[in-house]
């Protein structure tokens, strides 16, 4: 089965961009997932191909028009006559994206998604409200900062999704031990040589004792999380009371 994505954007040339490379790029070539873009400007209906207008109530910047975004979303949904796809609007006002959410999203929507990328000051809120109410459109943010548009957020979201598809990341165990999958930041990793510029790889990793290595790594992950991300650490302690030292 191919995981299918459709991106609504004013900048279709930004796709697949970085997703044509590395693991996602290989999986795209192999047909494990597909990507189509829809140019929002194609739904403009005046001779200047206008897609935006000034903010009602005053203020700087331009807002994407409701009728144009609505027509683009309708067109995108018509491409999926059999399975209604997940609909996502990338916006800093959305639910903050976390690994657990990517996982649940991929379980709930295994066939793919339609992603709407905003630009300028945003999208007329009425069209977002309509699609939220009628089609369960989700709003997702990739972090508490403002990007110039949703495109980079969409690429980030898709990369996180695609690497969970079966056969994209080689070893399932490399996904499972990863940062966040265990609600902790990742333990430090090393490769050869054993001594580099006077810095040594921790002795225990050379012991060959897999149990001890796993315990050391877990401890490291806990310590790093506690120091760097007190928010994640508190959540971890609530979820895994035995993690308390």
Instruction: Output DSSP code: residue 55.
Output: P
Virtual CA dihedral for 165, 169, 175, 178, nearest 10 degrees? -130
Residue 141 CB, nearest approach to ligand ADE (Å): 4
Task: Assess 9 for contact with ligand ADE (CB under 6 A).
Answer: no
Return the number of the residue (25 or 94) whose C-beta is nearest ligand ADE.
Answer: 94
3-state secondary structure 168-217: CCCCHHHHHCCCCCCCCCCCCCCCCCCEECCEECCHHHHCCCHHHHHHHH
- Sign, CA dihedral 142-161-102-105, equals positive
Applying CB under 6 A, among 87, 91, 221, 226 the residue interacting with ligand ADE is 91
Task: Assess 37 for contact with ligand ADE (CB under 6 A).
Answer: no
Residue 223 CB, nearest approach to ligand ADE (Å): 30
Task: Assess 90 for contact with ligand ADE (CB under 6 A).
Answer: yes
Q: Look at residue 138 and give its three-state secondary structure.
A: strand
Task: Assess 122 for contact with ligand ADE (CB under 6 A).
Answer: no
Applying CB under 6 A, among 16, 92, 112, 243 the residue interacting with ligand ADE is 92
Binders of ligand ADE among residues 132 to 171 (CB under 6 A) are 141-143, 145-147, 150, 153
Judged by the rule CB under 6 A, the positions of this chain that interact with ligand ADE are: 90-92, 141-143, 145-147, 150, 153
């Amino acid at each position: 089965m191919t995981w299918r994505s459709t991106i609504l954007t004013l900048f279709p040339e930004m796709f697949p961009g970085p997703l044509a490379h590395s693991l996602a790029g290989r999986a795209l070539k192999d047909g494990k997932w597909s990507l189509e873009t829809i140019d929002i400007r194609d739904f403009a209906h005046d001779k200047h191909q206008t897609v935006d207008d000034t903010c009602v109530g005053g203020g700087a910047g331009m807002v994407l028009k409701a009728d144009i975004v609505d027509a683009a979303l309708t067109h995108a949904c018509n491409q999926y006559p059999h399975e209604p796809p997940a609909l996502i609007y990338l916006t800093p006002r959305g639910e903050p994206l976390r690994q657990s959410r990517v996982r649940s999203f991929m379980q709930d929507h295994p066939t793919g998604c339609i992603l709407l990328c905003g630009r300028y000051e945003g999208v007329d809120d009425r069209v977002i409200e309509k699609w939220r109410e009628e089609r369960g459109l989700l709003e997702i943010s990739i972090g508490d900062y403002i990007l110039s548009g949703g495109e980079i957020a969409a690429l980030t979201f898709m990369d996180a999704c695609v690497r969970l598809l079966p056969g994209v990341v080689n070893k399932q165990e490399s996904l499972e031990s990863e940062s966040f999958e265990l609600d902790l930041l990742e333990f430090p990793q090393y490769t050869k040589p054993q001594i580099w510029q006077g810095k040594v790889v921790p002795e225990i990793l050379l012991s060959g004792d897999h149990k001890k290595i796993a315990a050391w790594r877990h401890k490291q992950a806990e310590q790093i999380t506690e120091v760097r991300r007190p928010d994640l650490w508190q959540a971890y302690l609530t979820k895994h009371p035995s993690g308390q030292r």
